Structure 1
């Protein structure tokens, strides 16, 4: 097993951990988990609250990212859905982002996280929850099929996010984003998906 690994996380508010301490965001929880296993972890995050696929793509183009990461994670699309962008646009841009993510991986260890369902949060109380949930499912159908076709590992965390409807521990204080408690559940699933020691 390698003693040192590099992790790249690409995304939006779910990746930076909006409204939770940095240490409770899922990339940093993952870092801590791996460090507790005796690894030295270097973490790079390219994400910003509100980013859509095209905005993340632009940020990547303007970055100095190289093919040097042992684990690459991509989670993007909720803001495409929120802004009402067409799913065809998402499909095309997500595929390009996935190919970019693969180009940064030294061993083709790319992980796609599904889009959480924010219809289950207090923020969506007066919105059309069924419509939101159906659209999230449609976007996730696209990113799953693209992930399968490109040989990326797929992690569905949408079901975990839907626990927010019945358990307030899963939602941050802003009533919209996941809590550190929820991100811990994501990391438990991520750890199970990583092949030891082949991928790290």
Structure 2
């Protein structure tokens, strides 16, 4: 691929992602049932545009939906360190700058799609991911059992993904996810595969945000529902 075509592809992907909008300092409260207990378990979500929920209301973010579903477990709405376009290196730097306390009852990590899209080496991703995993464990009070990693979605199945080689994207996504799964197993951290859900969208507009690349609240509800069963075991 020529340099001009690569630059054009990156420009196109950036348009689809939108501006790198930082997550707000505080999220609006979810609609809690009257009988629900007050949240007592702090939740930190680390990642990129998928963690922010690019293009959807804050209440539709998968982590916020998970907190609403896990009210009985006392899970609070997540604090978020994430931004659209972040690679593993940028997330690592942002965590250092934010210096969050190592006192969370649950920490989620979902990162790597921008490494894959930018063509960064898989070996580099593995090294960075391993470090991020150890950081997530530290922020969970040194408890690997309170960390959950979500797999990288297959954006090749989105409307925007039609402009690229879907087979190549899927293959690379699988390679990155395999590396993350192996590192999670070595560290004793739960790995939650949601990639199959993103491959079953069938280009349905209801499954995507208005940019045709990121996911709708309706779709991310599937991530939250799948995560709920795992999280209930992790925080019990």
Q: State the TM-score bracket (shorter-chain normalisation).
A: over 0.9
Tell me the CA shift for residue 63 of structure 1: 1.2
> Per residue, is there more strand in 1 or in 2?
1
The 3-state SS of whatever aligns with 1:172 is coil
SS in 2 for 1:154: strand
Does 1:97 find its partner at 2:119?
A: no
What RMSD, in angstroms, separates the aligned Cα atoms of the two structures? 1.7
TM-score by length of 1: 0.93
Decide which moves more: 2-11 or 91-100.
Answer: 2-11
Residues 129 and 64 of structure 1, relative CA distance in 2, 3 Å threshold: same
Q: How does 1:34-113 map to 2 (within 5 A)?
A: 34-35=70-71, 37=72, 39=74, 41-106=76-141, 107-108=143-144, 109-113=146-150
Change (3 A) 1:123 1:150: same
Q: CA deviation at 1:96?
A: 0.2
How far 1:172 moved relative to its partner? 1.4
Written as runs of structure 1 = structure 2, the 5 A alignment for 1:2-21 is 4-21=40-57
Tell which structure's C-alpha radius of gyration is larger.
Answer: 2
Whether the 8 Å CA contact 2:64–2:77 is kept in 1: the answer is no
Map of 1:132 onto structure 2: 169
* Match of residue 26 from structure 1: 62
Residue aligning to 1:171: 208
For residue 116 of structure 1, give the secondary structure of its aligned residue in structure 2: coil
5+ residue gaps, structure 1: none
Does the C-alpha gap of structure 1 residues 57 and 30 become closer, same or farther in structure 2, counting only changes over 3 Å?
Answer: same
Taking a change above 3 Å as real, the CA distance of residues 38 and 112 of structure 1, as seen in their structure-2 partners, is closer
> What residue ranges of structure 2 are gaps of 5+ in the alignment?
1-36
Of 131, 145, 169, which aligns to 2:182?
145
In structure 2, distance between residues paired with 1:87 and 1:38: 37
Distance 1:65 1:168, change over 3 A: same
- Give the match's secondary structure for 2:137: helix
Tell me, yes or no, if the aligned pair for 1:81 and 1:135 is still in contact at 8 Å: yes
Q: Aligned equivalents of 1:195 and 1:179: distance in 2?
A: 24
Q: State the distance in 2 between where 1:98 and 1:54 align.
A: 13
Residue 166 of structure 1 deviates from its aligned partner by 4.7
Runs of 4+ deviating beyond 6 Å: none
Alpha-carbon spacing, 1:40–1:85, altered in 2? closer, same or farther (3 Å): closer
Report the number of matched residues: 198
